């Protein structure tokens, strides 16, 4: 939802980042305002997932220059957990399995970390169970998954539902969903997309990273960005995704050749 008076939540300015010795992001710029849904598309290796991990603070990704400002604060000064507590959420492309750690306990600790930041009271086990059972409805998830270890033995679809469940519990200000649609069948995609739509509010924002129009059929973005070689090459409305679906990314090569 584009509103001219909405505040800026996330501003990325001339961001350069590398992993090991390879520079992946080459001066990326992006502004996201409250209420907006953005989609980033692009070929494999264009830097989409790197951008997500850099924003979330993955220690393997080194920012070499540039700024990421979240609600007026330099996000890059914060540890990953501080970013999450202050309202940045990364939905993982491949959610990690953590054997032996109860999903319910993990969700409770994470929820209380966010609540602490917001100045809310910590939820005890009973109060949290009430809350989580309510949030399960957002992604139509079986409560049995709460009793298992985090993501252990979950199918691809169950893992993605668990990601959106976490998003529902943490109530982030900005959610970056990295290929949330990968590995999902049509029904699961609809459930997950419906969850994301339910959680979109006028005061938060969503950044979808995806390869496919099928996700954008379910979640209509306000802006679609095309990434290539570590920067955003083109920005448009939701119609840009349809155009990409038809014409692919060959025009990127032509654009590069012309630039060279």
Q: Rule CB under 8 A: which residues touch another protein?
A: 56-60, 79-81, 83-85, 89-90, 92, 95-96, 98-102, 105-106, 109-110, 113-114, 117, 149-150, 166, 170
Q: Which is nearer to another protein, 112 or 140 (CB)?
A: 112
Report the C-alpha gap between 193 and 169 in whole angstroms: 16
Closest approach, Cβ 101 to another protein, in A, equals 4
With contact defined as beta carbons under 8 Å apart, do 48 and 40 qualify?
A: yes
Q: Which is nearer to another protein, 33 or 83 (CB)?
A: 83
Q: Which residues lie across from 208 on neighbouring strands?
A: 39, 177
List C-alpha distances in Å: 256 to 7, 178, 243: 34, 26, 19
Q: Which residues lie across from 209 on neighbouring strands?
A: 40, 178
Q: Who's near 118: CB < 8 A, 6+ residues apart?
A: none
Closest approach, Cβ 171 to another protein, in A, equals 12
Report the C-alpha gap between 83 and 53 in whole angstroms: 12
Strand 61-70 relative to strand 98-102, pairing: unpaired
Q: Which residues lie across from 67 on neighbouring strands?
A: 13
Q: Which is nearer to another protein, 95 or 157 (CB)?
A: 95
Q: Which is nearer to another protein, 29 or 149 (CB)?
A: 149
Q: Which is nearer to another protein, 93 or 210 (CB)?
A: 93
Closest approach, Cβ 104 to another protein, in A, equals 12
Closest approach, Cβ 253 to another protein, in A, equals 34
Closest approach, Cβ 111 to another protein, in A, equals 8
């Amino acid at each position: 939802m584009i509103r001219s008076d909405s505040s800026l939540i996330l501003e990325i300015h001339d961001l350069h980042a590398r992993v090991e010795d390879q520079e992946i992001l080459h001066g990326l710029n992006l502004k996201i305002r409250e209420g907006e849904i953005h989609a980033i598309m692009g070929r494999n290796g264009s830097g989409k997932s790197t951008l997500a991990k850099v924003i979330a603070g993955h220690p393997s990704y080194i920012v070499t220059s540039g700024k990421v400002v979240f609600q007026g604060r330099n996000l890059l000064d914060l540890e990953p957990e501080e970013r999450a507590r202050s309202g940045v959420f990364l939905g993982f492309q491949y959610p990690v399995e953590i054997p032996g750690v109860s999903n319910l306990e993990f969700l409770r600790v994470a929820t209380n970390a966010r609540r602490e930041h917001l100045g809310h009271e910590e939820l005890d086990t009973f109060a949290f169970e009430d809350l989580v059972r309510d949030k399960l409805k957002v992604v139509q998830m079986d409560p049995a998954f709460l009793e298992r270890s985090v993501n252990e033995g979950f199918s691809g679809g169950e893992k993605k539902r668990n990601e959106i469940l976490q998003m529902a519990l943490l109530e982030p200000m900005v959610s970056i969903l990295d290929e949330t649609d990968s590995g999902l069948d049509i029904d699961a995609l609809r459930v997950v997309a419906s969850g994301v739509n339910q959680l979109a509010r006028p005061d938060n924002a969503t950044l979808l990273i995806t390869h496919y129009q099928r996700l954008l059929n379910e979640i209509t973005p306000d802006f679609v960005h095309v990434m290539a070689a570590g920067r955003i090459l083109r920005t448009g409305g939701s119609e840009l995704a349809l155009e990409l679906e038809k014409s692919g990314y060959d025009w990127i090569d032509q654009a590069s050749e012309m630039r060279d």
